[in-house]
Amino acid sequence: MSRLRGAFAELKAQGRAGLVTYITAGDPSPAISCDVLRAIAAAGADVLEVGVPFSDPIADGPVIQRATERALAAGGNLSVTLDMVASVRTEIRQPIVLFTYVNPVLQMGVDAFVARAAEAGVDGVLLLDLPIEESDDMCARLAARGIDQIFLISPTTTDARVRVAAGLARGFLYVISRLGVTGARAHVAGTAAPLVERIRAATSLPIAVGFGLSRPEHLTEVAGYADAAVVGSALVTVIGDAGVDAPAKAGEFVRWLRGQ
């Protein structure tokens, strides 16, 4: 059983929704990022999503764009991100998912990327701009090394494309609660619950809801209809504001989200 499948099975057995946390690898430095991963894992995050810094993001809002700029300035890239995961893997039991764009993977080479991701202990990969229709080969290569490919589903995704994504995906489906870029919001989008209900009709995979979630009450609301909530920009803001104190502050923030 993969770590992702095991994590969601454990959550179901406990009768609770999970918390997926996103950080940008290398912000403010690779070494501090590693300590942040250790801290948020110890604080109770259920899945760790690690964003690869990339110069031309299309889905990231201002907060994550600034984090990416800091990470790139500190020498971050896909190779450094994989080294980071490898350095913390034995200390962290939670699944680790890479969030990246296709370009860095093509620059490294698909075979080299899959091999290094497997060696580093990556559990899942979300290639944001890889079209579902062109993902068969990547899915097969990742699956051959025991890595789950995660797909994004948005409010505008058709039922037909939901079924295709559900047939190809492993681990979980990442549901975008609203259209637009990432960023914390005051309220959970009203489109989220009906979208999850629509996706449930096409798959038995766990569903995680993200984009805009930033507070404990958001997690409580999402837990009413999804298997996990994803918090990204709000956590990245904490890290960006904290500097060298990022690990401690990130851990405190995750404990606050979980009501601890």
Catalytic machinery residues: 49, 60
CA distance linking residue 62 with residue 188, whole number of Å: 19
Judged on CB neighbours under 10 Å (0-12, 13-18, 19+), 201 is: exposed
The bridge status of strand 173-176 relative to strand 207-210 is parallel
Which residue type is seen at 94? Q
**List of residues 6+ apart from 209 with CB closer than 8 A:** 175, 177, 188, 192, 196, 222, 226, 228, 229, 230
Work out the angle between the directed axes of helices 110-120 and 78-88 (0-180°, nearest 10). Answer: 20
Whose CA is closest to 101, among 140, 127, 72? 127
Tell me the longest C-alpha to C-alpha distance in the chain.
47
**List of residues 6+ apart from 145 with CB closer than 8 A:** 114, 115, 117, 118
Is cis: bond before 95, omega within 30 of 0?
no
CA distance linking residue 27 with residue 24, whole number of Å: 6
**Phi/psi at 124 (nearest 5 deg)?**
-150, 155
Rg (CA), the chain: 17
